[in-house]
A = this chain, B = another copy of it.
Amino acid sequence: MNEIKVFAPATIANLNCGFDLLGLCLDGIGDEMIFRKSSEKGLQITKISGANLPYEVENNVAGVAALALLNEVDIDFGIEMEIHKKLKLGSGIGSSSASAAGAVFGINELLGKPFTKKELVNFAMKGEVVASGSEHADNVAPCLLGGFTLVTGYNPLEVIRIDAPKDLFAVVLHPHIEVKTSDSRAVLKPEVSLKNAITQTGNLGGFVAGLYTSDYDLISRSLKDVLVEPYRKHLIPGFDKVKNAALENGALGSGISGAGPSIFALCKQKENAQKVAIAMEKAFSDTKISYDVHISEINEEGTKLITN
């Protein structure tokens, strides 16, 4: 296996009640990356399309993640990496994480899988530092592992992977605006009420129970974020209208994807997701901001080889 092609999917992090903890993996939308063994030692980024990103390995999310892995192995060949970005940077659906996850997954495959996917999360997190300034696994964990992931600790990394109920679909509306990370952080309150903390705790507990029992009503009741969304939503034009349109059309829940600006909804069954997507588009069109919309199953596989 001298050349492989990898698909690194988009993800939703900060899923309502699971702010900073819970993510899910999308299907059908993601980056592609190509990996090749080469005689010239070391790691080289040989091609980048779809985004203006640095070719210097040390300044590139995928490069840094890849180096973190390569530091742990001893190989007698070099690696060439191509990055074909389909996910727009700053969209809130895990673009940088897809690069990091794709890089470590691809190289791991090329090396004959010395690491498990869970172990790869640790390397991919190193790439996230380039993009966001901190190691976090909210997006790289679902991108690599698929399904839902709950990241409950970092020293050591604790990732719980949970299968998605089979009829669950996600809708993502991506407004073509930039929400600055600094603004997303600045609006957060360092203190919250004990009451709200308990509400959030109960909602995540309920949501996790809903996933294990495929209880869509419970999932729906639990998909609420009382800690962060009330502050961050003001950074996204039309957020309340879009969310309400989703809920009024039968979505189980809706919220901010990642740190925004994307807005997601979870739905039971594809037909409802299609209906909800149309309603969200209609509600957002008032803003006159351009956007795109994706409808996706929950991707249970995560980052994978493209074999065709």
From A210, which residue of chain B is reached at the shortest CB distance? B160
The answer to whether A197 and B204 touch (CB under 8 A), given A153-B221, A218-B160, is no
Q: Can you name 19 extra interface pairs (CB under 8 A) apart from A19-B201, A197-B201? A: A18-B201, A20-B198, A20-B202, A21-B202, A150-B202, A150-B209, A152-B202, A152-B206, A160-B206, A162-B209, A189-B194, A190-B193, A191-B193, A197-B200, A198-B227, A204-B205, A205-B207, A208-B208, A212-B212
Cα of A123 to Cα of B192 in the assembled complex, Å = 32
Interface residue from B192, B196, B205 paired with A205 (Cβ < 8 Å): B205
Least CB distance, A227 to chain B, in whole angstroms: 6
Copy number of this protein in the oligomer?
Answer: 2
From A218, which residue of chain B is reached at the shortest CB distance? B160
Cα of A227 to Cα of B208 in the assembled complex, Å = 21
The answer to whether A198 and B160 touch (CB under 8 A), given A192-B192, A208-B209, A209-B212, is no
Does A188 touch B at the CB level, under 8 Å? yes
Interface residues, chain A, CB within 8 Å of chain B?
17-22, 150-153, 158, 160, 162, 188-198, 200-209, 212-213, 218, 221-222, 227
Chain A at the B interface: mostly helix, strand, loop or mixed?
Answer: helix
- Which residues on the B side are within 8 Å of A202 (C-beta)? 20-21, 150-153, 204
- Which residues on the B side are within 8 Å of A203 (C-beta)? 152
